[in-house]
Amino acid sequence: MKAFDRLVAASLPAVPRLVVRKIADRYIAGETLEDAVATVRGLNALGAMATVDVLGEFISRPEEAEETATQYERALDAIAAGQLDANVSVKLSALGIEIDRALVDRTLARVLRSAGRHRIFVRIDMEHSGLIDETLDVYRGLRGAGHDDVGIVIQSYMRRAEADVAALADLTPSVRLVKGIYLEPEDIAYQAMPEINASYLRLLEQLVEQGSYVAIATHDPALLDGALNLIDRRGLGRDRYEFQMLLGVAEEARRKLIADGHRLRVYVPYGRAWYAYSVRRLKENPSIAGYVARDVVRTIVPGMR
């Protein structure tokens, strides 16, 4: 099964865009804000919350960062106008942090002003290891300036993650806990899945102990079981955590969590930059590439499992 996943992921650059789009459609809302709004409305009807993400982290010009900020302002206006149960997630690379710090400060401030006007939460995504220190610095600066409705992401495959969580303890941050998908060297990141999963559960325990609100972002059955065991063992209230999943992935697990009364949020990416996002994400996470590809095949070949 893993060999199939890796084959699908490795083949993506040679695959026609139309086919990549077919594979990616399960977990991308579409190219337009209207697509995202319709997707969020459908998720809300099923009892799920949403996080909206404007695709476009691969930028090289300041105008692109400003345009990304404009797209987020429009998305926030649409969430408020539609009374949707959704927040937004931003990548600092899409807002210009790899171009100029002053640029990202300006574009992020625009997003936060719009979010503050609508009282909508903003999550700052964590990216590759070269941006971790600067991302944490931006986050700490925002919290110091009184932006309490802003969260951060911690990646369990990073060897530094426990130290980063400890360093943020004074802020009692809202944290999305993920495994991590960027390709990193062994001295920076754990490579073996058992190590990554063990780190994930340690970090989850650490965050709960420190009083953080935790977004448990995983589709891994073992991690879901571990998280549910912790929730039961700690008697954790529903105001202390939520589960998060990608659009179109592990839908049966998603339905069960919602049916059992857990808060669950679905990641809803959209935008014209869907192709670069799709190829990169699917290559970096072969299990998702294989999962979606198998699902596409099942729609063509009835009875396939």
CA distance 186 to 82: 45
- Catalytic pick among 176, 254, 263, 281: 176
- Catalytic pick among 125, 143, 254, 263: 125
CA distance 187 to 134: 20
Catalytic residue check, 61: no
Ordered per-residue pLDDT tens for the chain, 305 residues: 455 555 655 555 555 666 666 667 778 899 999 999 999 999 999 999 999 999 987 789 999 999 999 999 999 999 999 999 999 999 999 999 999 999 999 999 999 999 999 999 999 999 999 999 999 999 999 999 999 999 999 999 999 999 999 999 999 999 999 999 888 999 999 999 999 999 999 999 999 999 999 999 999 999 999 999 999 999 999 999 999 999 988 999 999 999 999 999 999 999 987 776 666 666 666 655 555 555 544 544 444 34
Is the Cβ–Cβ distance between 151 and 124 less than 8 Å? yes
β-bridge mates for residue 52, sequence order: 88, 268
Please name the residue that has the structure tokens 């095949």.
Answer: 297
CA distance 66 to 300: 42
Is the Cβ–Cβ distance between 90 and 122 less than 8 Å? yes
Domains of the chain: 1-28+274-305 (no CATH), 31-270 (3.20.20.220)
CA distance 125 to 127: 6
Catalytic residue check, 25: no
Identify the CA nearest to 5 among candidates 280, 283, 284, 286: 286
One-letter identity of residue 13: P
Identify the CA nearest to 54 among candidates 39, 41, 73: 73
249-258 residues labelled b (16+ CB within 10 A) or e (exposed): bbeebbeebb
Can you give the pLDDT at residue 66?
97
Cβ–Cβ contacts within 10 Å for residue 116, how many? 14
Is the Cβ–Cβ distance between 122 and 112 less than 8 Å? yes
According to DSSP, the β-strands at 150-155 and 86-90 are: unpaired
If residue 107 lies in a helix (H) or strand (E), which one and from where to where? Answer: helix 101-118
Identify the CA nearest to 51 among candidates 298, 268, 278: 268
